[in-house]
Chains A and B, each alone.
Chain A
Amino acid sequence: MAQVKNSKLLANPLNLQNPVTVQVLGICSALAVTVQMKPAFVMGLSVTIVTAFSSLIISALRNTIPNRIRIIVQLVVVAALVIIVDQLLKAFLYDVSKQLSVFVGLIITNCILMGRLEAFAMGNKPFPSFIDGIGNGLGYSIILLSIAFVRELLGSGSIWGFKIIPPVFYQLGYENNGLMILPPMAVILIGIIIWIQRSWKKELIEK
Chain B
Amino acid sequence: MNTEKNSYIFIYSTIMVLVIAAALTVVALQLKPAQENNIRIEKMQNILQSVKIPSTPKDAETIYKEKITETFVINTQGNIVEGKNAFDINLADELKKENDAERLFPVFVCSPNKNDTVKYFIVQLRGKGLWGPIWGYMSFNADLNTVYGCMFDHKGETPGLGAEINTAVFQSQFVGKKIFDENNKFVSIATVKGGTKDDDPHGVDAISGGTITSKGLEAMIYDCLKAYELYLTNNKK
Q: Which residues of A does B touch, CB under 8 Å? A: 63-69, 72-73, 76-77, 80, 83-84, 87-88, 90-92, 94-95, 155, 176, 178, 181-182
Contact = CB atoms under 8 A, between A and B. Distances in A.
Contacts of B3: 63-67
B210 to A, nearest CB: 12
Contacts of A65: 3, 12
B26 to A, nearest CB: 10
Given A67-B4, A94-B57, A182 B24 contact: no
13 contacts: A63-B3, A66-B3, A66-B4, A66-B12, A80-B20, A83-B27, A84-B23, A87-B28, A91-B31, A91-B34, A92-B34, A95-B57, A178-B159
Q: Is the interface of B mostly helix, strand, loop or mixed?
A: helix
A152 to B, nearest CB: 13
Nearest to A80: B20
Nearest to A95: B57
A95 B35 CA distance: 11
Contacts of A83: 24, 27
Contacts of B41: 94
Size bracket, chain B contacts: 20 to 34
Contacts of A178: 159-160
B9 A69 contact: yes
Nearest to A182: B159
Contacts of B20: 76-77, 80
Interface in B1-38: 3-4, 8-9, 12-13, 16-17, 20, 23-24, 27-28, 31, 34-35, 38
B59 interface: no
A177 to B, nearest CB: 9
A35 to B, nearest CB: 9
A83 B29 CA distance: 13
Nearest to A155: B159
Q: Is the interface of A mostly helix, strand, loop or mixed?
A: helix
A18 to B, nearest CB: 29
Nearest to B20: A80
Nearest to A156: B159
B100 interface: no
B27 A87 contact: yes
Contacts of A76: 16-17, 20
Contact of A66 (B8, B17, B23, B159): B8
Contacts of B12: 64-66, 69, 73
B34 A181 contact: no
A117 B41 CA distance: 39
A91 B163 CA distance: 27
B70 interface: no
Nearest to A77: B20
Contacts of A88: 27, 31
Given A80-B23, A83-B24, A182-B159, A66 B9 contact: yes
Nearest to A84: B27
Nearest to A177: B160
Contacts of A181: 159
A87 B31 contact: yes
- The list of the 5 closest CB pairs from A to B, nearest first, reads A94-B38, A91-B34, A91-B31, A178-B160, A181-B159
A92 B57 CA distance: 11
A83 B21 CA distance: 11
B94 interface: no
B66 interface: no
B42 interface: yes
A178 B39 CA distance: 29
